[in-house]
Structures are given as structure tokens and as C-alpha cells.
Amino acid sequence: MADALDADNPFATPSALPYGLPDFAQIREEHHPPALLAGMAEHRAEVEAIATDPAPATVENTLVALERAGRLLHRVVLAFFNQVSADATPALEAVEAEVAPLLAAHRDAIYLDVRLFARLEALPSDGLDPDTAWLLHRTRTAFTRAGVGLDAADQQRLRDLNTQITTLETTFGRDLLAAQNDAAVLVTDEDQLDGFPADARAAAARAAADRGLTGWLVELQLPTKQSALAMARDRDLRRRIFAASVRRGDGGDHDTRPTLLALARLRAERAQLLGYEHHAAYVASDATAGSALAVVDLLTRLAPAAVANARDEARDLATALERDVPGGVLEPWDWAFYAERVRAQRRALDDSELRPYLELDRVLADGVFRAANALYGVTFAQRHDLVGYHPDVRVFEVFDADGSGLGLFLGDFWTRAGKRGGAWMNTLVDQSTLLGERPVVVNNLNLPKPPDGEPTLLTWDEVITLFHEFGHALHGLFSDVRYPSQSGTQVPRDFVEYPSQVNEMWAWEPTILQAYARHHETGDPMPREWAETLLAARQDGEGFATTEYLAAALLDQAWYRLDPQDVPTDPDQVTAFEAASLEAAGVALAQVPPRYRTTYFNHVFGGGYAAAYYSYIWSEVLDADTVTWFEENGGLTRASGDRFRAAVLSRGGSMDPMAAFRDLRGRDPQIAPLLARRGLRDERRI
């Protein structure tokens, strides 16, 4: 390990920039490895001092001291892993591969330390402030779930498992990114792009040019469904794009199957070593769901009605296909295209008409930011003097209603070769009154980048994604907690999606929609009848959307409910296991594949959602109920926004999250609003 960090390393001291924004203008790739190593060494020394303190354990010298420890490591880790996820290079990926197992071992050294646990156990639970009492409870739970009670031999096996798992997670993410880049579909005949609007063609041409190719490159998004499938009139091109999407990681130079099988097996063994039936049980026991049985009960309760609705939708689409291809069979690559056709016929509206009214900068300023201002009084000012980790990143200072600085928001919206797929939120600085730190948060999307000077036009789904991710950002920005480990989104996986999903509702709010939905050339507002149609069409396609989601969530559960010896050993068995699992769960529809197939299911093999992909629908129960609360309490008002901020957004992980929900709603959540939203009211199907 490293000695003290050189003073000229930008991580050696806390950043002097506003809000502690990492000094990306100074940080270079070579600064990360020594800073990570020095951070681990410094943290170990601090923890050792706590563990060997001769004074009796107190909240201050043990619990609070643990919260204060590891500051160098924490700020380096946040900056490094944000960089790897959003702008990876081969050098950074090599550092990640080297340091990931070291970080796993470092965590084990802390959470398997019986001396630290004994000091925590010696602390009284009574008489503490509520947030401190909750911190003590959660910290003890973390030690127990980490295996501090195991004997020496089992602890050593656990350390080995954690190291292997961390290494394989890194491998999966790296291989999937490479597979996704390689799977991009090159088009050399422009006639095949019939149906692509001008800006989408320009973005595809730019993507090809950026890789030194001639033609148009259709880059893939992380889910199975690709936005290009709704545009392409050329059926063979749709087939090629779909095939490229579902084959990612399934063999070839970047085969993810051996890695994911090893991950499933090792996680299963670890769960049983820790005393749980399987990994799904281990995950659910520490979430708001409480048990894997409760998770599967919800998913299977929703599946029959969702599938029935999807079959109804498929019949409508097959009729539309028949007009173009007499005798043709509806295939999965046809679904998005004909769904748009049917919507256009039924609603006289489709994405090609909407996109010119949904320009990124206007949606951000007059939609996302305007809604936040109306609800919470916050304002935003771009800081051109502050730079992000990539030239495309924009930095905004966020001001509270009283004009005081609240934090920084970084927007990174365009795709690039080194950026993992999907959309997500990261933090670069966690809010904490104990440490006197205010939040710095990042939103990432993967929108095709247009040629310079051209607008970025969004689909309606991308508008919703922008509002969704900003809901996560607000959760981080509005955090008002004492302890850094309780900041913002540091809540259970099946609760963290709740505030972000609530924020989606404001995309539909008529006054907000009227403000941001304006033609990018003329500035004319979206026709009123179109806005009304959008509102009326909210349940269109819910059969497909719910079924593809449930298929992925149930597939995740299937992999992580296995005993170690039951995990397939042959990569060629992955497809068969997937098919059998979907069939057994009642969600095997040929035209509606899972939102993520196993080989590119980064959430559960490369990310933190293993056995927790159910979290989105679980959180949506809370979200739909809260939308009803907003509607009952005036909708888009400061009073309602401030109440939601005080009860939920500001609390972070400083209390039982379900208690925060009950504080807002006055009761436990009810499922009826979710069923109504997704068109699942028919009790015969529930």
C-alpha cells in the first residue's frame, strides 16, 4: 500500500472549489491509483485507532468517529467510479479491475472486525437522538449482515467470495460495454433509414464518423427495446437492430455468460454462508419488502393482468401489420413500430410529431427546473467557470428559496463510447452537517449527440427519463442530515426509486408541459389537443411496458433464488434457463421479451440491483399513492412541495423510510393507485 499522498495530487486535500466539486481540470488518470491506495491506508489507520481506543466506547469515540473516518478514500471513490461509469478509458478500466478487489477486502477488514463490533454493541440504544439511534441500529445491522458473527474459517471464505464477486462485477460491466459498442448497427444505404427524422439521421452519421466509419451507425441503448425500432420503416433493419440488441454478451469476443453464472453461484454461496436460503432472501431481508416471498407475491400478482393486456395490444398491432405485410406474423422487432402506428391512428399523434417540440435544453430549463421551482422554490444558474469530468458536462449551482446556495447539479446527457448504457444519478459530494458538506450530484443519460449546433430532440420516454433522474438528484440535493452515511439516496434499493418516480408526474402537469413543449425552431407551443392526447394516452402500451418489466424482475428473482449447486455450469444453458424461468412465471411472450435479457442485465450482474430489480415496481406502489396525495393537496404548489421535501426528500437514510412515507401519507401505502395507473383494475385478473 501507499504512503501519504503526494501534496501535488489533486485529491491530497479537499477541493477548494465551490461545494467541494472535484477539481476535474487538474485530475488526471494517473492521480487515481495512488489516491485510492493512500485513502485505504489512511482509513485503516483511523479505524484501527477507533478499535484500539482504551477509553470505554461512546457514541462520539466510536459511532461518530466511524462516520468521520475515511474522508480521503470517500472523495476519491466517488470521483473515480463516476468517471469509470460515465467516461471510461482502457487505463481507468485497468485501475478499476485492480482496485475493486482491494476495496472489497478493505470493507471486509472493517465490517468483520470483532473489536469494532464489540464497541458498537456496548453502546446504549436508549436516550439517543432519533437519527443517531437509527444510525446505531443500521451500523450494527451492517456488521451482522457482513458476517462479523462467523467463525474464522467462514470469515476467510467470505472474504474470498467478496473479492471474487467484486472482480466479476467489474468484468461483467467492462465486457458488456464492449459488447454494446460492438453491437451498434452500421447502415450503408440511406434508403434503409426511411422513417428516421433528420436529427436522428444526423446523430447516426456523427456516431459513424466518430468511429471512422462510412454511413450511419445506430448505437444501442441498454434495454432490449431500442428507440430506433419505432422509427424504422425498413423491416429488415428493425430485425437487425433487434437481433443486435438481444445478442449482446451471448457469445463472441465479449461473452458475459461465464461471468454471470459465476456471479450467481458465488452470491448464492455467500447468502447461505450468512444464513439465508438464497441471495434473494438476503437482499429482501434488509429492504422495505422484508422477504423474498413478499417480492414474488407482488410480481406474480401483477403478471396475469399485465400479460392479458399485452396480448390484447398484440392483436391490435398484428392487424396493423397485416395491412403492410399480408399474412405476416408480428415479431418483437415490429412491436415498437406498429405501436407508434396504432397510436398515431388512434390518437393522431406519434413520437415523430412530438420530438420537434421536445428539445433538451428547453425541457430541462422550462420543464424539469421550472417544476422544481414551483414545488420547492429552488432556482438554477449555470456555472460556466466550473468544469465537469468531460467537456459535455454542464454544471449548475442550485439556490434554495431564500437565495442561499444549496449545492451543485451536473448534467451529462449525451452518449459516448466510454459511457455505460442507461440513465442514472451519482453523487460527488454527500451532504452532511457533521462534516459541513453540501451536495454535488450528477445526472447521466444516453441521448444520441447531434452534430454541433443542432438541437437534441427527445422522445416522450426520454422526457420522462429526464424528470425521473432529476427526482434522484432532488433526493440528494434536499438531503438535510447530520451523518454522511445517511445522506440523500442512502436508503434501501426498493425505496430509492420512489422519489424519482414521483417526480415523473410533473412532466404531465399541464402548466409545466405548456412551458417546455415548444417547437425548437418556431417557439410555438405544442398544440393544445396534442397535450390533451398525451394525457389521454398515458395507459397506451401499459400491457407491453408492465410485462417487459415484470419479465426482467422475475428473471432476476429466478437467478438469485437458486442454490449454488443449481446454478448452470455451461454458458450454453443460460438461454434455456431464462426461457424456462419466464415460462414458469407466466410471462413468456415471444413478442414481448424481458426489458433486459440475462446477458446484458447490468443492473443485477454489473450493478447494485442483484435480486432487487423488483424495486422499481415496489417503489411505484409508494409513488402512485403519493401522486394521489399531491392531487388531493393542490398538486403543483409550494405547500405540497415543501411538505414532500420535509417528510421524505430531506430525511435521506436518517430514519426508517417507511416511517417517512407514513409521516407524509398518514397511513401505510395502498396498491389501488398503482393498479389504476397501469390499467390493472380488473379484479378478475388480480
d(CA 483, CA 430): 10
Is residue 598 within 8 Å of residue 574, measured between CB atoms? yes
d(CA 547, CA 302): 9
| Pair 66, 47: CB distance under 8 Å | yes
- 94 CB neighbour count, 10 Å cutoff: 13
Contact predicate 340/230, CB 8 Å? yes
| Residue pair 195/227 in contact by the 8 Å Cβ criterion | no
Using alpha carbons, select from 576, 526, 557, 55 the residue that is nearest to residue 300. Answer: 557
Helices (H), 247-331: 257-273, 279-284, 292-324
Question: Which is catalytic among the residues 46, 67, 437, 469?
Answer: 469
- In Å, what is the CA distance from 544 to each residue of 305, 306, 554? 11, 8, 15
Distance (Å, whole) CA 573 – CA 262: 13
**Euclidean distance between CA atoms 72 and 176, whole angstroms:** 31
Angle between helices 90-111 and 130-146 (to 10 degrees): 100
Q: Which residues pair with 395 in a beta bridge?
A: 410
Q: From CA 595, how far away is CA 610, in angstroms rounded?
A: 15
574-585 helix and 292-324 helix, angle to the nearest 10 degrees: 100
- DSSP symbol at 684: G
Active site residue 469: yes
- Taking the C-alpha atoms of residue 59 and residue 641, their distance in angstroms, rounded to an integer, is 35
Cell of residue 306, nine digits: 399485465
How is residue 39 written as a grid cell?
485513502
Provide the grid cell at 131: 437519527
What distance, in Å, lies between the first and last C-alpha atoms of the chain? 57
Q: How many CB atoms lie within 10 A of CB 450?
A: 19
For residue 414, the cross-strand partners are: 447
**How would you classify the pairing of strands 379-382 and 405-414?**
unpaired
29 vs 157: CA distance, rounded Å = 34
Cell digits of residue 187: 447502415
Catalytic site positions: 469
